Structure 1
């Protein structure tokens, strides 16, 4: 049975957020301009409402329970958004904001895009935090339910309830270890099909490459299936298997891993990299600012 929101005093949520952030009741009380007895009483009401201890008193302060951590992960971005929305100034100030953004993506984003994006953000908004969670087939539902602010991925389902924009196109290349007995800087169709490949799991979606690989005479031999792009590259570097990966990612790892980068044996259309977000955040000043920072970062890659 779902919790009836009418039975929850929403004024308790900022108290919960303050205790999580401060780690001490006295400090949380100071931040909220409340007395410590009032904070303690609010915590007791929260414990009763949610049927969880929420915080355990220790020598180091108030230690959150697993339930409290889970709640805070979901509630903190929504409380920040609510504060920004109700701000009478009606604006977002990056220099003072402590907004937390949750982004859904794969390790391609974490390796290629996240470092320069964070470098750009830290100069303008030192208090802003980014959290990246792994992309899955539940991505659209996560966005629509408010569990994430945006997703960056090549795999996008059509959904009228979400906004999306192509912000980058990525070329696919073939990589193999430099001392590979067959590949010497070039990759023919025959060599490609005879080699063993390390691949990613099938996410029930299709890229331009999949259209080629599903055509007659293009069935590749799968030697290993791994969970991340970085694992594909490591496997190719340590074996005679080859991998087809985004060019920017290949160039990032080629020298340290001892990989050679080869053009795909036939022309493959570039892969569009999408940014997807819920319409509810379309006009949110903070979200708009983050999309702008992401666009500038991708343009410079």
Structure 2
């Protein structure tokens, strides 16, 4: 085949994204293009492959059998190009120019990211860090090289993923230092009667919910938050309490002058680990990044790492 007959890279990126998101509008947003431009590209790809590839349905753009058959080879090509562009025989952090993408929770944005960023800016000034969410796409992102590491409690990651324990987490409760009804300790009776802020996200939240069900505790939830942003200010300005992992709890307490209480509910602890794909186990840059994380955060636990 003449190289002029090969599809453009942008068409392969379009195919890869559209197969996942099933929306021309969302693909246009992610590629930074107008919707008419994406429609033109899709028409070119359809003509090149002589197949509709995606058919409009009430649930979005559904792939045809031909698209199902071609998505694997398409992604292999894209991954080969990524590895080709990023290839380095050796990795010198002092001179390297590279972006590392790390999947983490919003709690880690507060507890881990500032210290990691400070270290990298000192030791590797040409390195750019990008924080991404932990979600259903994390395993594929690690495998494809879209993400370099995932840090957190992620027990659902499957085969081909290496992991290394950093520290253990137990659970604590946060309260206003001037709370009118809390003094030395927070007991189970008071835990049941006080108003709570519930965090609905976080990879360890399921452990808390299981413990509450097991102990037959129904909290008086006054406020639900999708993450930890603003939690410290809310606890500081109200008589509400929050139950959360120790690392983020102690960090928020220090910043907002809050009181950390032992959690009266017996909640199962969990390990925070860093995860990477076997394909990048020996890759020099990935090994350096993992070493930085271990150096900064591996311990028996605690906000200091």
**What's the TM-score once normalised by structure 1's chain length?**
0.68
Q: What is the CA RMSD across the aligned residues, in angstroms?
A: 3.3
In the alignment, what sits opposite 1:119? 118
Residues 173 and 262, structure 1, Cα contact 8 Å, conserved in 2 = yes
Residues 100 and 131, structure 1, Cα contact 8 Å, conserved in 2 = yes
In the alignment, what sits opposite 1:82? 84
Task: Give the Cα–Cα distance (whole angstroms) in 2 for the partners of residues 262 and 203 of structure 1.
Answer: 20
Once the two structures are superposed, the pairs formed by residues 17-96 of structure 1 within 5 Å of their partners are: 51=41, 81-85=83-87, 87=88, 90-96=89-95
Residues 212 and 265, structure 2, Cα contact 8 Å, conserved in 1 = no
Residues 167 and 295, structure 1, Cα contact 8 Å, conserved in 2 = yes
Task: Give the Cα–Cα distance (whole angstroms) in 2 for the partners of residues 285 and 5 of structure 1.
Answer: 36
Task: Give the Cα–Cα distance (whole angstroms) in 2 for the partners of residues 109 and 178 of structure 1.
Answer: 24
Q: Structure 1: which 5+ runs fail to align?
A: 14-46, 53-75
Task: Give the Cα–Cα distance (whole angstroms) in 2 for the partners of residues 79 and 195 of structure 1.
Answer: 56
User: What is the DSSP-based 3-state SS (H/G/I as helix, E as strand, rest coil) of the residue aligned with 2:235?
Assistant: helix
In the alignment, what sits opposite 2:6? 6
Deviation string, structure 1 residues 55-82 (Cα, Å, up to 9, x no partner)? xxxxxxxxxxxxxxxxxxxxx9986743
Change (3 A) 1:206 1:226: closer
Residues 80 and 99, structure 1, Cα contact 8 Å, conserved in 2 = no
User: What is the DSSP-based 3-state SS (H/G/I as helix, E as strand, rest coil) of the residue aligned with 1:214?
Assistant: helix
Q: CA deviation at 1:255?
A: 4.3
Task: Give the Cα–Cα distance (whole angstroms) in 2 for the partners of residues 132 and 144 of structure 1.
Answer: 17
User: What is the DSSP-based 3-state SS (H/G/I as helix, E as strand, rest coil) of the residue aligned with 1:240?
Assistant: coil
Once the two structures are superposed, the pairs formed by residues 219-238 of structure 1 within 5 Å of their partners are: 219-238=218-237
In the alignment, what sits opposite 2:209? 210
Q: CA deviation at 1:224?
A: 1.3
User: What is the DSSP-based 3-state SS (H/G/I as helix, E as strand, rest coil) of the residue aligned with 2:183?
Assistant: coil
Structure 1 stretches of 4+ moved >4 Å: 76-81, 202-207
Matched, 1:260 2:259: yes
User: What is the DSSP-based 3-state SS (H/G/I as helix, E as strand, rest coil) of the residue aligned with 1:157?
Assistant: coil
Task: Give the Cα–Cα distance (whole angstroms) in 2 for the partners of residues 207 and 265 of structure 1.
Answer: 17
Task: Give the Cα–Cα distance (whole angstroms) in 1 for the partners of residues 174 and 255 of structure 2.
Answer: 13
Matched, 1:183 2:187: no
Matched, 1:146 2:148: no
Task: Give the Cα–Cα distance (whole angstroms) in 1 for the partners of residues 92 and 86 of structure 2.
Answer: 10
Task: Give the Cα–Cα distance (whole angstroms) in 1 for the partners of residues 266 and 159 of structure 2.
Answer: 32
In the alignment, what sits opposite 1:292? 291
Task: Give the Cα–Cα distance (whole angstroms) in 2 for the partners of residues 186 and 123 of structure 1.
Answer: 42
Task: Give the Cα–Cα distance (whole angstroms) in 2 for the partners of residues 178 and 211 of structure 1.
Answer: 29
Matched, 1:243 2:242: yes
In the alignment, what sits opposite 1:105? 104
Task: Give the Cα–Cα distance (whole angstroms) in 2 for the partners of residues 211 and 238 of structure 1.
Answer: 29
User: What is the DSSP-based 3-state SS (H/G/I as helix, E as strand, rest coil) of the residue aligned with 1:229?
Assistant: coil
Q: Structure 2: which 5+ runs fail to align?
A: 14-36, 43-77, 299-303
In the alignment, what sits opposite 2:45? none
Residues 84 and 91, structure 1, Cα contact 8 Å, conserved in 2 = no
Equivalenced residues, count: 237
Residues 149 and 274, structure 2, Cα contact 8 Å, conserved in 1 = yes
